[in-house]
Chain A
Amino acid sequence: MKKLIILCAVCTVMLFANEDYELKLYEKILPDIFAQTPIYIYATHEAKEKLQKSIKFKVVDTCDKRVVLLIGEDFTHLPIECKNKPVFATKYRTFRDNANSFGAFYWTKGRPQIHFKQKIIKKFHIKLPSYLRKYEK
């Protein structure tokens, strides 16, 4: 019982630590990539919860002109006005399959993965800061 409680506590801390890690990462790289704050974001459910905690982001429910990028796992059913917005994926498959996905951040085997697609970055005229170029493919 004691071990179970300790394990739960460790997992909880790690879970929050990862979330914190993710949010801090977004707060660091997205303003550097898009050179503005706050950044208006259209996000799927999971990402929305995290991003709403930051003052650097404005998470909106509709894709209006202010929206700079989309963040999330699955964008198969997007509103029409969001179709041409750059996508930052939180899942490998979305990163691989979505034509507008210029980058991604997700966890694989307990390890953080960050990737950018050179081709899509060019398409949206995004300028990556130098410290992120090593993740470009």
Chain B
Amino acid sequence: MKKLLNKNITYIFYIFAVLILVGSLFIFTLFERTSDEIKQNNLLSMIEYIDNITTNMSELIQTSTDNHIYEALKKNRALRANLQKSLELFVTNRYRYIYVVDKESQNSKDFRFLLDGARDNKAEFLESYTPLKIKKWQEVYSTKKALYFQNKDVESLWMTYLKPIVIDDKVQAIIAIDFSLADYDVIVKSLKKFSISFISIMIFSVFLFFVIAFFSYVDKKRIQKLKEQSQEIQQFNKTLQIKIEEEVEKNRQKDQQLMQQSRLAQMGEMISMIAHQWRQPLSAINSTAIAINFKAQLNQLDAQEMTELSGKISSFSQDLSRTIDDFGSFFKPNKEKKNVTYNEIVTSVLGIIEISLKDNNIKLIKELNSEVVFHTYVNELKQVILNLVQNANDILREREITNATIIIKTESNKLSISDNGGGISNKIIDKIFDPYFSTKKEKNGKGLGLYIGKMIIQDYCDGELSVKNINNGTQFIIQLPI
């Protein structure tokens, strides 16, 4: 959604930029066209007005001279003066020069003044006159049509309008008016200001267009780069994930190997425990067998006694069998969690090791107060507790502690195993859970028991295994989640 929005924003930017440019161009073109129309209409309006004036003048001159302009004006000085007075009436700042000229003959190049509306510096009657842009003047003679043109070379603010006086399809004279373009010029200048403003806006629009286009381009590049980087990171993450999985699998296999090693090591120790366990029943079986044999030789073995003795042998054999079952289940890893209490586990563990402890004159104190049922891997937990008790056993024997005691205490979710074996040196207490760290190297210690124990409690059972020195001894504490 965000990506789509980003993409849309970029397109909106582009569309906005193009709209600004096209809109500005359209408005500018429209303005230029309107501006030309205004100028053209203004000029045409002026020309139309001047054409009306000159038409009236032409009619006045023709009427006054009875269509013989040159002859009448030459003869009649008063008529000339009157007509010039009439022309004078139209002379203003706007209509600067109003005069009538003709040519001596149709083929003549030069013009001559017939009438002049000027108030001072009045041209003489028949004064020779060579106008600028003489071809335009001659064109009026040839086409018999009025025309106007700008006198840029003389006074750029003025325009000349030439109106032919046509009599009998012949141009008899030309009425010339030089008029000011000041009003027109004001409009043109005003429009030019607008035009400059529009051009400025246009330039700004173009600039804005390029700025937007540039930033859109930069943004696009940035997004593309981010995308590439994101892809790289994703690829890297994938590779990393695979590596992590591989490493986790390796660690898992390593841990399994370690656990297997630990189990084997523990199994070796437990063979001696089995030996202790079996010694008493085997001795009892042996004693019973000797008794049977002895009584049989004395013919004192009756059926009842035989049944009794064989029953004892059977009972001792069952004890042996149960011992094997206990050991067998102990080394069989659980694949499923089961409900169990600390008491059940402790009882099971002590069933294996208790005789060994008695043989070593180690006093065992049980304070089993927990009734909490845990859902956990039972055999793995047994293995840990057995390892902790066995460690206590080892240290008490190794240090030849008199009045050696192991206290197993349970309360709520906490199980502690304490001994009075002198404790662990503070130098090594932080390392005892490290793999291959052992203080029993002389006795073939592998240094895996506590490492595996911590791993089982933390990783498998989601609990905690901790150690601390207590009065003249060590206390291991297991805490399982309820």
Which residues of A pack against B, CB within 8 Å? 10, 14, 92-93, 96, 108-111, 113-115, 135, 137
Contacts and interface: CB of A to CB of B under 8 A. Distances in A.
Given A10-B157, A109-B178, A110-B155, 20 more contacts: A92-B123, A92-B127, A92-B128, A96-B127, A108-B123, A109-B97, A109-B118, A109-B129, A109-B131, A110-B97, A110-B154, A110-B158, A110-B178, A111-B130, A111-B154, A113-B128, A113-B129, A113-B130, A114-B130, A137-B128
- Closest A-B pairs by Cβ, 4 of them: A109-B97, A110-B154, A111-B132, A92-B127
Nearest to A104: B128
Contacts of A14: 155
Nearest to B98: A109
A96 B113 CA distance: 14
B398 interface: no
Contact of A108 (B129, B151, B157, B158): B129
Contacts of A108: 123, 127, 129
B367 interface: no
Task: Please classify the interface of chain B as helix (H, G, I), strand (E, B), loop, or mixed, using the class held by over half of its residues.
Answer: loop
Nearest to A11: B155
Contacts of B151: 110
Contacts of A113: 128-130
Residue among B96, B118, B129 with the highest chain A CB neighbour number at 10 A = B129
A96 B127 CA distance: 9
B148 to A, nearest CB: 16
B131 A93 contact: no
Contact of B124 (A92, A109, A110, A111): A92
Contact of B123 (A10, A109, A115, A137): A109
Contacts of B158: 110
Interface string B172-213: 000010100000000000000000000000000000000000
Contacts of B176: 109
A52 to B, nearest CB: 25
Contacts of A137: 110, 128
Interface string B93-109: 00011010000000000
A111 B131 contact: yes
Contacts of B130: 111, 113-115, 135
B123 A96 contact: no
B99 A109 contact: yes
Contact of A96 (B124, B132, B155): B124
Interface string B124-141: 100111111000000000
Interface string B107-120: 00010000000100
9 contacts: A14-B155, A96-B124, A108-B129, A109-B99, A110-B97, A111-B130, A114-B130, A115-B128, A115-B130
A66 B155 CA distance: 39
Interface string B364-400: 0000000000000000000000000000000000000
Nearest to B158: A110
B103 to A, nearest CB: 14
A93 to B, nearest CB: 7
B259 to A, nearest CB: 104
Nearest to B118: A109
A123 to B, nearest CB: 20
Contacts of B123: 92, 108-109
Contacts of A110: 96-97, 151, 154-155, 158, 178
A128 B130 CA distance: 19
A39 to B, nearest CB: 25
B168 to A, nearest CB: 28
B189 to A, nearest CB: 11
Contacts of B96: 110
Interface string B152-167: 0011011000000000
Contacts of B154: 110-111
A7 to B, nearest CB: 9
A60 B133 CA distance: 38
A105 B278 CA distance: 156
